[in-house]
Chain A
């Protein structure tokens, strides 16, 4: 690799813009410009020095800020497209055909197109994930590309800089001191700059005051945080790091917790409370009558003892008694239980009485647990009711056979065989809500409906996310990084006293010129320095307002 030898004799690596030692501009562009481009202090960044192999080309592609910004914008646009119509996971239908139909019916042909292009599931599409991946690569490559050389050059700064470096800073001052003894000036400057919390170094007749250098590391720290965060998000794809299960559990039921071996949970009670306020204007506008106040499931969490048979709900030890509410999940050993959903008033048991039609005389009562119906209910040694068929969610007949829509007891129907001393061979009857059919003609006995018991059901989700600590660390590092990079800035003031006592000063900050000027005002007054000028301002005036600044090719 070629070297660039500066007039001062220092050997710089190829691609250097400002001599590492004395700061002289090394490029034609630099020599001609009025104000030097101080980004990365003119060091050679990798992407500017190599461009031969394919690896170099890929590296250079990803390290470019132009590419980085383009990737940010593309991600932004892609994310926004996903909000035009609701995403599939907000649509409460399950099958593909239903989804397709939903988008077409609700949003017309645009909705259909949206669905067919896969935009209704943008965020888990492969191309969206590739876009995020490319953004991550870009962050990593750009940070390494610039961060390491920048660190090296910031560490090896010289105090004394070349005249052409000094004169080409945005803020410059040159001239004799305005009053007092010029031989004391450097001491005065040192004193004042130290009072302003600058670190001051001197080298002969030159002085460098520097403050807030660590702020230059802010962007690199925040990029590291972002990468850690994205890494954490990716880890969730690894099995075991992430459990996300949901379960329905009825009041009074005890069920094994999915994804959490050896644990059982019991639903003691589901509670729904409503606000009792008068209807507000917003409720009126939105057509909402009452607003929910609390969704709560009182649960007991159990653990199986060591020697128990897996999946068997015996030998349970109580570990926690808790009321799960929205915003107040039950947490145990990294697992969390969230109140997600509920269903009120599910039928629990139905009671019938076996009665003789004519007299209304009762032979006894049968209580059917709808989630756990028995094959037969024996009333005495001559009387029993056999359950020949059970249809929890009866939806009509097909080819003479009763059908059930779902396994949930929403609309239970039964086929009973009633065995009585009078009819020992049994009488068959089909019983559903509001409907009785007697296939063999006129029965003597009937199952008379008595009462139902209802109960509520809670929908809980069970989560375990071992990536959370990684995400949290990433988040904290990111926040630290942005705060450091945004709330502090790197200010430098170079001063040189020439043979004749003239002061030459140059100042630079990576942002916040307003504050460094305040520092300089205080300094000039204290050390009686010549007035500084802001060559950036002059630029503006000279070019005339409104003229766009030249683009800069170092991106």
Chain B
């Protein structure tokens, strides 16, 4: 087995460990009988964190072996960066866990990491060669610190989500209930994306097209899902596959739009199935699980993780990024979309901190802000990388 295979297997081990860990965390915070429940929670909780740490060590070993194999920090394409992001989220969770010993956090942190790794696994995992601008140790330092900062910030969303799961009454018709269910539905959509990708991959679906891009050049593209949307002036080259229903404008990447479409279909079907089988909203399923968590403590953990993450993020995403840009292009700031979105994330968390100076913005509102902050981070990871940056296709 070569190093890269070992590396891949280690990642798989980590994934399984987090999956098992999630159930143990579930067991730890579930309380049925009062007798000895606290003790049992303790035992399950300890096991859960040990399994998580084992998973993290496997994950870290994946990272290091891949680094040795490729010769550069494995953060240079979507697959690599996103798996690393998942790893840092677990690292941040372990850090916060040992500060507050709150098992309930694991119940949200681990599934989020699982979704992120699952999402990453849908991208090609070959080792890509590095273009000249990426060959810099500043890039490594910058990306790793920024991802670490984002991960600690993400823990505030974990605490925020827990806060909201407890604080939102599943039986009262409120705006909060609607939006929280929407967040949970979004998570199901991520599973939908994974299901759709895997399904069509197993079938071995492939459809080749030629199309004309926005510069007027002829290009080829392969769809791995039935093409609902066709690229600009597409010509289908494969026989016996679905002919697109709609042709899109040249600035829209219809292939990605198709992926979004199928993820949406699969995710929504899954969501409806869950609702039909359990006859409850996801919120009302999760709400009883977190009955015992202390809201004040969650609020503080959320605030604390922003406080810990904000300086790391500032250092990684702004300071180191500027040093690198200065060295590579002679300008420390270039208003490129990725940069701008890092700045937006930073401004957002600055706003979060300042809003907390007022009491009215603690608790529920603050928890929502933490969730929005995480949404911005994900936006930067997914939309900016795949959609906006694609428009400029910079090195």
Binds A, one of B8-16, B261-269, B307-315: B307-315
B133 in complex: contacting residue of A83, A85, A244, A326, CB < 8 Å: A326
Residue in B closest to A468 when the chains form the complex, CB atoms: B326
Interface: B50 (CB within 8 A): no
A283-B128 contact in complex given A479-B319, A550-B360, A555-B357, C-beta closer than 8 Å: yes
- Of the candidates B330, B343, B393, the one having the most CB atoms from chain A within 10 angstroms of its own CB is B330
B316 → chain A closest CB, angstroms: 11
A87 to B335, CA, bound (A): 8
**Which of chain B's residues 200-255 have a Cβ closer than 8 Å to chain A?**
214, 219-222, 249-251
B132 in complex: contacting residue of A325, A468, A511, A514, CB < 8 Å: A325
B357 in complex: contacting residue of A65, A72, A79, A483, CB < 8 Å: A65
**CB atoms of A72 and B354 under 8 A apart:** yes
A511-B330 contact in complex given A80-B344, A546-B169, C-beta closer than 8 Å: no
Binds B, one of A17-25, A148-156, A288-296: A288-296
Interface: B337 (CB within 8 A): yes
Interface: B72 (CB within 8 A): no
**CB atoms of B126 and A282 under 8 A apart:** yes
Interface: A108 (CB within 8 A): yes
Binds A, one of B17-25, B34-42, B345-353: B345-353
Residue in B closest to A80 when the chains form the complex, CB atoms: B344
B340 in complex: contacting residue of A82, A511, A554, CB < 8 Å: A82
B308 in complex: contacting residue of A285, A294, A487, CB < 8 Å: A487
**CB atoms of B357 and A73 under 8 A apart:** no
Residue in B closest to A90 when the chains form the complex, CB atoms: B392
Instruction: Find chain A residues with CB under 8 A from B130 CB.
Output: 291, 293
A106 in complex: contacting residue of B214, B328, B362, CB < 8 Å: B214
**CB atoms of B354 and A295 under 8 A apart:** no
Binds B, one of A206-214, A273-281, A365-373, A387-395: A273-281
Instruction: Find chain B residues with CB under 8 A from A336 CB.
Output: 330
Instruction: Find chain A residues with CB under 8 A from B348 CB.
Output: 76
**CB atoms of A540 and B296 under 8 A apart:** yes
Instruction: Find chain B residues with CB under 8 A from A80 CB.
Output: 340-341, 344
**CB atoms of B126 and A280 under 8 A apart:** yes
Instruction: Find chain B residues with CB under 8 A from A275 CB.
Output: 129
Interface residues as binary, A463-498 with B (CB distance below 8 Å gives 1, 0 otherwise): 101001001000100110011001100000000000
Interface: A340 (CB within 8 A): yes
Interface: A329 (CB within 8 A): yes
**CB atoms of B129 and A75 under 8 A apart:** no
Interface residues as binary, A534-546 with B (CB distance below 8 Å gives 1, 0 otherwise): 1011001000011
A552 in complex: contacting residue of B222, B360, B363, CB < 8 Å: B360
B155 → chain A closest CB, angstroms: 14
A107 to B248, CA, bound (A): 12
Binds A, one of B111-119, B189-197, B271-279, B297-305: B297-305
**CB atoms of A280 and B124 under 8 A apart:** yes
A534 to B328, CA, bound (A): 53
**CB atoms of B362 and A549 under 8 A apart:** yes
Interface: B127 (CB within 8 A): yes
A280 to B295, CA, bound (A): 49
**CB atoms of A295 and B132 under 8 A apart:** yes
Interface: B31 (CB within 8 A): no
Instruction: Find chain A residues with CB under 8 A from B127 CB.
Output: 280
Seed contacts A82-B340, A83-B388, A512-B300; 16 additional CB < 8 Å A-B pairs: A65-B354, A69-B351, A280-B126, A286-B393, A287-B219, A327-B138, A329-B330, A338-B328, A338-B330, A461-B330, A463-B330, A479-B315, A487-B311, A536-B296, A546-B167, A546-B168
Q: Which 8 A-B pairs have the closest CB atoms?
A: A551-B360, A281-B124, A275-B129, A326-B132, A280-B126, A463-B330, A83-B337, A486-B307
Between A and B, 19 residue pairs with Cβ closer than 8 Å are A39-B357, A79-B347, A80-B341, A83-B340, A87-B335, A90-B392, A106-B214, A106-B250, A123-B335, A275-B129, A285-B124, A326-B328, A329-B327, A487-B308, A487-B311, A514-B100, A514-B297, A551-B359, A555-B357
